[in-house]
């Protein structure tokens, strides 16, 4: 992930244009950099969302199993 951050930082640095370099940067280059950044952010957001949903599903399954175990223990205790 640190290499992703380095890539993003390098691209953001391209966008940090001072007065003396503004004439050297073509608008199409800026558009390409911004598009690339947006695509990277979108991809990272999708991956994070998928991971989060997966973890929530796993947590839900574990809670369901725990609840079933507790209910089974309570029913067994009542029958004794």
pLDDT 10s digits, 17-62:
554 555 566 889 999 999 999 999 999 999 999 999 999 999 999 9
Dist CA 60 CA 9 (whole Å): 37
Dist CA 51 CA 57 (whole Å): 10
Dist CA 26 CA 45 (whole Å): 29
Residues of the domain holding 28? 1-78
Q: Indicate the number of domains in the chain.
A: 1
What's the pTM value of the predicted model, to 2 decimals?
A: 0.56
Dist CA 66 CA 38 (whole Å): 41
Per the structure block, which two tokens stand in for 73?
Answer: 């223990």
Helix 2-15 vs helix 27-79: angle between axes, to the nearest 10 degrees? 150
């Amino acid at each position: 992930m640190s290499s992703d951050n380095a890539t993003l930082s390098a691209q953001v640095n391209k966008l940090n244009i001072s007065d003396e370099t503004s004439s050297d940067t073509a608008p199409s280059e800026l558009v390409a950099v911004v598009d690339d950044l947006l695509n990277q952010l979108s991809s990272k957001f999708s991956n994070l969302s998928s991971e989060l949903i997966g973890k929530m599903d796993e947590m839900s399954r574990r809670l369901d199993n725990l609840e079933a175990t507790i209910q089974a223990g309570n029913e067994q205790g009542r029958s004794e």
